[in-house]
Chain A
């Protein structure tokens, strides 16, 4: 039995027509999309969504944060120092405020180098005085018969000079002195060598940490002054500003050198006297009659005296030359001399002020920071995923300038916490 084909064919035909219509609509839509896309073209952004940090990233921010930590540390030091300083009685008429010299640790003078400088001067001065004394004795002996007593009996603190009843007192000492001439020269050379050693030493040590210490010194000085009250100390920053002392510098250097200059002039007087004495001896020798019975003895006597004066003369001239060299450059030549002068100036200021002042030495032991990157839900909404931290470790020592006794000393570690760079702006001091 056969079935009529008409119903199936009709259904198939309608399906094909619907497919063709759908294909046409899709093509039309695709064409429309292409047209729209062509009209609204946008290039790719290239943003990958990751954070990349360069080498200097956060350096400025860390410095700022370190500054904040330093400031807090300075306040802690100021509080401790004000507690340790003796209180001025503000009710006392005429009472003066305590004096406080704030010195960065990196600027502290090298006490050994300073001591070497003074040793050099003192050695020279003592040698000048001693040789002038020997010279005077040598000349004096020519005109005076030696005393029966050759002992020095004078009761000066130095005990170096002759006494009225004992004009020949220096005989024994002169012999000792003659033997010690090389020692004098060696001593001066040793002092100079010692000095140059220390010069190099502190030049190399330089001011490597001075900047940080100086910053702390300024912060501490400011923090102390910020507590201004009638009992507050007078605060000095001798390394930063010292107009009075600079004005007085010429006087100070003159004070340091003038005894050498004085004794040097006195030594020249003595040299002249000895030169005259040598001339007088020469004349005396020439005036001895050739036929005199004691001519040989008198010549021998004059020769012995001449030897004594000549030796004393030569020694004194050598010391005068050493004094001239020292006076030409008491702090050494060139850059090393300039640095030594700077160091000496500060030390001299501290010494001149210290009997009535306290000296505060501050040091930044450590300063630095770190960063951290955080990724979480909030960073997806655009929050900066970057945090900074910084901190300092500072120390201080407070000395009584009169006695050198330590009055207070401590170390303060101060951490600034972690903070977003965005918050630095409102983290005002």
Chain B
């Protein structure tokens, strides 16, 4: 087994871009998505310095801080100096090494990580995402329901995308993930029999084990322009093979959909340098792509009447079809379908689709009667 590739040092400009992309409305985050933020004030830098010093005192390794940068007062001074340069020069600001280290540490402290899943679990990060710990069992159940949609060689793709169990043998994913391998026949859809599509709920970093199920057919593809959703039917497991994973509950009540909710995305981000900054991607992914990851974040924009909402969890190409799970209810509220570097990530909002006849076999958590 080979370890993750060595991560190159970020360029000054890349670091500043990442720091400035931290959203100010929903907390300080490192995210491939995220609004372009303002430079924090000196008071905010002082507060962040205190948080960083406390976190580094507990576990200094994740922050890559030298000894001289581990007390709050020094950190505050260094960060305020960096803030002056950022305010004066923006992206072109030239930072010295202590300033770079301090900004990088803040990004690590407050960011949006993409955590590698191993044995259906994640190693909890230091910092604010320690808040995931009480939900450990529920997260583990959700993670086990997410799989990579594999296809046969020939299409020139490592895999088609991500999907997750929403019913008995029923996998939800995006329309645009399935469409290249689908052909309309009457009111139904044919799946290319040569693509040998599979649903593998393992594909974890550092493991060669698989928990693979064959995709038998396409149950439905939504033809609405703004609902990028498809359902796949898995073939019955072969004798001796593990049964289908239990489906994830899908939130059917729109009142659980609100900006600021803490959520996480589980999926298989792929290298995607066409649409993302290489250095930022490398910093977050450490050169490991196509493996199952959990990305925590928050809902940044949502309207109960829309078929979409935005979130700031870190995603890349390959995450299409990932579930967006509400942390506190552990129910799926969205189906991730798109992201734009430094702007936003988008998901199909599932609660408004509660009455869709095509989704009648989905395991809804609550309904219109509530």
A interface residue numbers (CB < 8 A to B): 118, 121-122, 125-126, 129, 132-133, 144, 151-167, 255, 257-263, 265-266, 269
Contacts and interface: CB of A to CB of B under 8 A. Distances in A.
Nearest to A267: B183
A208 to B, nearest CB: 33
A163 B190 CA distance: 21
Interface in B148-162: 152-161
Contacts of A126: 155-156
Contacts of B340: 151, 153
B184 interface: yes
5 contacts: A125-B154, A151-B275, A155-B272, A164-B308, A262-B194
A164 B239 CA distance: 40
A129 B194 CA distance: 14
Nearest to B308: A165
B338 interface: yes
Nearest to B152: A259
Contacts of A263: 192
A260 B275 CA distance: 30
A161 B175 CA distance: 9
B183 A265 contact: yes
Nearest to A256: B194
B21 interface: no
Contacts of A154: 174, 176, 228, 317, 320, 337-338
A163 B338 contact: yes
Contact of A129 (B155, B317, B322): B155
Contacts of B154: 118, 121-122, 125, 259
A313 B358 CA distance: 33
A159 B274 contact: yes
B227 interface: yes
Given A122-B153, A126-B156, A259-B192, A156 B317 contact: yes
Contact of A163 (B157, B194, B228): B228
Interface in B266-282: 270, 272, 274-275
Given A163-B228, A258-B194, A262-B194, A153 B339 contact: yes
A164 B348 CA distance: 9
Given A155-B315, A165-B308, A262-B190, 7 more contacts: A151-B275, A156-B174, A156-B321, A158-B160, A159-B317, A164-B228, A167-B225
Interface in B306-329: 307-308, 315-322
B320 A157 contact: yes
B176 A156 contact: yes
A127 to B, nearest CB: 10
B336 A155 contact: yes
Contacts of A255: 194
A263 B156 CA distance: 14
Listed residue (A163, A166, A261) with the most chain B CB atoms within 10 angstroms of its CB: A163
A96 B192 CA distance: 34
Nearest to A259: B194
Interface string B176-200: 1101100110000010111100000
Contact of A161 (B159, B179, B318): B179
Contacts of A118: 153-154
B224 interface: yes
